[in-house]
Structure 1
Amino acid sequence: MHQGGRGLRVLSIPAGHVYTAAIRPEDVEYLPDPDIDGNWWPHPALDAAWWEYLPAAELPDLVHLHFGFDHLSPGQIADLTGVLRRRGVPLVVTVHDLDNPHLSDQTEHHEKVRLLVEAAAARITLTDLAAARLPAGTRVILHPRVVADPPPGADSGAAVGVFLKSLRGNVVSDPSFYRILARKVHEELGLPLRIHVHEDSASTDLVRGLRADQAGGAVDLRVHPPMPDAALHAAVAECRTVLLAYLRGTHSGWLEMCRDLGVTVAVPDCGMYEGQADDPRGVEKYRTGDPLDAARALTLLHGRGPVPYAGDRTRQLRQIREAHREVYREVTGR
């Protein structure tokens, strides 16, 4: 399995995701994701039986599990970690989600995370706040940049925005939340709340409920198809501050994107979002689901003015990759 001279072969689940592609050390090979109807999910390597018949010569040096195990039961997680142990393949787990943003009942998810972190040869998470809820020795490695090339005019936006996309289960969908929020923001700042939402069946009720508020000037409703990254980054950069309208979750790549663009973010107190901040002035916490407190946070942030990203994202990315290489070295002895 460990042939001299070749680099480490890591089975990253997934490998081709924008996050996992970013953190990969340059001298490490990530085995390609399977193509299952144009997607990698569910990864066959999450099935314990897949490992039972894998020839020894094809075993990776380690498995690095990020996400994609939602469909597994706790028993299947136990089977997976057991077969990895028997076959001598170390497991590295990055805990992105202490709480699964797509689930209202976290009981089973918490049990699966517990089984994974107990079986892991190394544990990683993204913030000190999350690490404090995980076993001792969990390493904190920050989220990498999301926007490598900010559009012209980043750090100079003036709008107050919220980007709802396709209204996933962890996003507030009640129109009254946004009506109250928008009216309070308009009252305090004299600006409409710019609401971006995808044009699909999930948003129909919300869009219908908000159209009336456009006439009063409190809501600037923008219904559109999903935007390519460049257009999305430009739209976010038009804002001085944005709201994360989440009901649950742990960490946010969206927050990182906003901070890459110098945009400040009002974050709910349900997760570890505040702990991701590069600069404490770049975020303001509000009570989850409370539109008046969310308006307070947005008003405070808007008055604070632009807060450019604090630090060197290029150097940070290099450090993130080096930190992952060190973890891989520790668990494999190579």
Structure 2
Amino acid sequence: MPGGHAYTRTVMPVEAGFAALPDPHPDRDDCLAGERWWPPRMLTPGWVTRSAFDLMHVHFGVEQVPVSTLEETVRALRETGRPLVQTIHDLENPHLHDQAGHEGRLAVLVAAADAVLTLTPGAAAEIERRWHRPAVVVPHPHLVPLPRMQAARDARTAAGPVGRPVIGTTLKDLRAGTDAAGLLPALRHLARAMPDADVCVWLHERTWREPADDRARRTCRALAEAAADGVRLVVHPPMDDDALWSHLASLDVAVLPYRHGTHSGWLEACHDLGTSVVAPDVGHLVDQGPEGVYRWRPDGADESSVLAAVEGALGLRDEGLPGADADARARQVTEVRAVHAQVYTELLAGGRPGQGDGDLGRVAAAHPAGSTGRRREEAAG
């Protein structure tokens, strides 16, 4: 759940005979291709009791379900004998300012889950500390389609070294987990310190023209000031996937603007396309293998560590592109699916994943999280 999400489609072990049910429309009993899945009806006791399925695996959309409904859904799963698997992508929800509700929902699901998965060793350790539950670590697979990924990487290799590197931060519509105002002073410092680089910020045009709240208005003012101080501002319409891949492939270094969070699909997409990543030291982003890490202070990004991280990431590009090629990512998907298939098979047989001969741990470790990036430790200070 949700069955139609790109991540869940990628990790579904179809070769082993498993398939996801289509997502029910939130307002109807049918499901039409391309329609939205949120708020998710699968996480309701009524849907559980009247639907034919063998196992529920929850990934996204939990923030839209009341805790009381989750508790009733868990009871319905138990009463009907269906196992529950929970993949924890976000220990902190990047779409929320207040995490209390998210933590409450996670507590319900983690306590009830027959198996818990997550993306990095650091997140698994945090899950163990918080809930005393072991978690199987399954690294994030590719996001960019494999042919598009390889074409972008081949084009970069053929082009050779760039003369004027493009260093970009993409703010989209200023979701809760980003702090543009806290990062912009560091980007202005970067533009002054690296005059031969093109330091850019991308923002949705509607957010620029019609800021939704005081936070957005403050950010737009700060962007205008940065644009007058050497940072190039690009105001654009929302991108579809094709436009997004082209955008990310146009960057040499992507600076992630997150003030809180756990993991980043954006980081994985950048690595797919050969774009280096500079990430803040929040959540467990470091475990995903960015090429540079900067410090996030209570008042925003540390300017000197952003500069050091970007310089280090650019230096690493002299050694080759970050990330793995399409063949390696395809092999990783095969192994990730094998982990999911084993978890599902053991649960449906009445077992507990990882309690048998140890194969699960070996499969999960075959492509450890962070293996597709190269991180400069010194950039974190």
- The question of a shared fold, defined as TM-score above 0.5 by the shorter chain, is answered with yes
Quick one: structure 1 residues 227 and 73, their matched pair in 2 at CA, closer, same or farther if it must change by over 3 Å? closer
CA contact (8 A) 2:120 2:288 kept: yes
Please report the TM-score for the alignment, with normalisation by the length of structure 2: 0.76
String of CA shifts for 1:80-106, please: whole Å, max 9, x gaps. Answer: 111211110100110111111122222
Q: Of 107, 119, 122, which residue of structure 1 is paired with 2:112?
A: 119
| Equivalent residue number for residue 6 of structure 2 | 18
String of CA shifts for 1:58-78, please: whole Å, max 9, x gaps. Answer: 431100011112122333322
- 1:287 and 2:299 correspond: no
- The structural deviation recorded for 1:212 is 4.5
How far apart, CA to CA, are the structure 2 residues paired with 1:307 and 1:248?
27
- 1:275 and 2:287 correspond: yes
Question: Which amino acid letter does the alignment assign opposite residue 206 of structure 2?
Answer: D
- The structural deviation recorded for 1:291 is 4.5
How far apart, CA to CA, are the structure 2 residues paired with 1:43 and 1:210?
36
Between 1:122-131 and 1:33-42, the stretch displaced more is 33-42
Higher strand share: 1
5 Å matches for 1:50-65?
50-52=47-49, 54=50, 58-65=51-58
| Other structure's SS at 1:132 match | helix
Q: Of 34, 59, 71, which residue of structure 1 is paired with 2:64?
A: 71
Between 1:120-129 and 1:206-215, the stretch displaced more is 206-215
- 1:99 and 2:92 correspond: yes
- The structural deviation recorded for 1:331 is 0.6
Q: Of 184, 194, 200, which residue of structure 1 is paired with 2:200?
A: 194
Quick one: structure 1 residues 51 and 210, their matched pair in 2 at CA, closer, same or farther if it must change by over 3 Å? closer
| Other structure's SS at 1:316 match | helix
CA contact (8 A) 1:188 1:299 kept: no
5 Å matches for 1:162-201?
162-174=169-181, 177-178=183-184, 180-190=185-195, 191-201=197-207
Report % sequence identity. 35
5 Å matches for 1:124-139?
124-135=117-128, 136-139=133-136
Q: How many residues align?
A: 312
| Equivalent residue number for residue 5 of structure 1 | none
| Equivalent residue number for residue 373 of structure 2 | none
Higher helix share: 2
| Equivalent residue number for residue 40 of structure 1 | 37
String of CA shifts for 1:227-271, please: whole Å, max 9, x gaps. Answer: 232332222222221111011111111000011112221112221
| Other structure's SS at 1:162 match | strand
RMSD over equivalenced CA pairs, Å: 2.2
CA contact (8 A) 1:286 1:297 kept: no
Please report the TM-score for the alignment, with normalisation by the length of structure 1: 0.86
Moved over 4 A (4+): none
How far apart, CA to CA, are the structure 2 residues paired with 1:208 and 1:285?
24
